[in-house]
Amino acid sequence: MNKSLVALLTMLSAITPALAETYPLTVQSCGQPVTITQHPTHAVIQDVNMAEMAFALHLQPFIAGLSGISGWSKKTPEFSRMQGNIPEIATHYPSLEQLLAARADLFIAGWNYGMHVGGDVTPETLQAQGIPTLVLSESCIRTQTHPKLPTLSLLYDDEYRMGRVFDRTAEATALINSWKQRVSAVEGRIANTKPKSVFIYDSGEDRPFTAGAYALASEIVRLGGGVNIFNDLQTNWGPASWESAALRDADAIIIVDYGAGTQKSRTFLGHHPLMSDARAIRTNNVLALRYDELTPGPENIGAVEKIAHFLHPDINP
């Protein structure tokens, strides 16, 4: 084949659009097949992190409503800008009636992210109304007996699945590739560093609510050069004990910021009888990260970069 023909074919392949998805199409959700009969036009999306996954693919024209945003988190100006005129149909978990009133033709949520096992809104109850559900992969631990430890592939796969469902496969692929490049760059910079121990404090006073082995947050910390002190907690997010947190005495603490700042949490930890003398508290080695940075979504990539700089400040950014 001569060089001119090779150059022509290369140019044509570059400008040829990706093949459009054809409907119906079937994707996997918590290991179960979900069939999407047509391009969704009235999707309802639960929580900030999953909404940002959709916004990253510019899916706003196909979203009829959001849920679970203002009930827990204060929106950032950027989130409000991306949300635009999309209504929030429920401040916490939506009811079946609210989803039907929104004429939802797809619900994107997760277990304990908009749905409870055995509740009124589940993939089964929605399917009976003709509404398919895409379940956040990190949350599948709530319904699986032998879950795998999380990696960023959970995020990548969920984003790609969303791209397929909305016929944005090429955009999703490009986005995921850019995320992988950023994470790879961080891994290269911290390759020769010693991991620092980290306590992830979400909330709770009687008992600390924290990330366990199956939280993507634990993998985000690992990629940033740390190790979660509660990696032996066999859940994604759940309660631990103050005694364990004090005994394990992490090098650093990451506090989850729900939008109102973290001063209240910092003050509480600083006055707690078991935590006030903790190494990270004494040295003020505390980092605040937003909720959407530690739950599966596009902001995870920036979180890896922030954690790496926080735990290993001597490494060039």
Architecture of domain 192-311: 3-Layer(aba) Sandwich (3.40)
- Residue for token digits 């490494």? 315
Question: What is the spatial distance between Cα 115 and Cα 229, in angstroms, rounded to a whole number?
Answer: 28
E-strand spans in 19-71?
25-29, 32-36, 43-46, 63-67
- Helix (H) / strand (E) element for 290: namely strand 286-290
Domain boundaries, the chain: 17-175, 192-311
Q: Do domains 17-175 and 192-311 have the same CATH topology?
A: yes
DSSP category for residue 74? P
Stated pTM of the model: 0.91
In the CATH scheme, what is the code of domain 17-175? 3.40.50.1980
List the pLDDT tens digit at each of the 317 positions of the chain: 444 444 443 444 443 445 678 999 999 999 999 999 999 999 999 999 999 999 999 999 999 999 999 998 888 999 999 999 999 999 999 999 999 999 999 999 999 999 999 999 999 999 999 999 999 999 998 887 778 899 999 999 999 999 999 999 999 999 999 999 999 999 999 999 999 999 999 999 999 999 999 999 999 999 999 999 999 999 999 999 999 999 999 999 999 999 989 999 999 999 999 999 999 999 999 999 999 999 999 999 999 999 999 999 988 66
How crowded is residue 97: how many other Cβ atoms within 10 Å of its Cβ? 10
Structure-token pair, residue 308: 């790496």
Structure-token pair, residue 154: 């959970």
Helices (H), the chain: 3-15, 48-55, 77-83, 96-101, 123-127, 153-165, 169-189, 216-223, 242-248, 263-271, 279-282, 291-294, 299-311
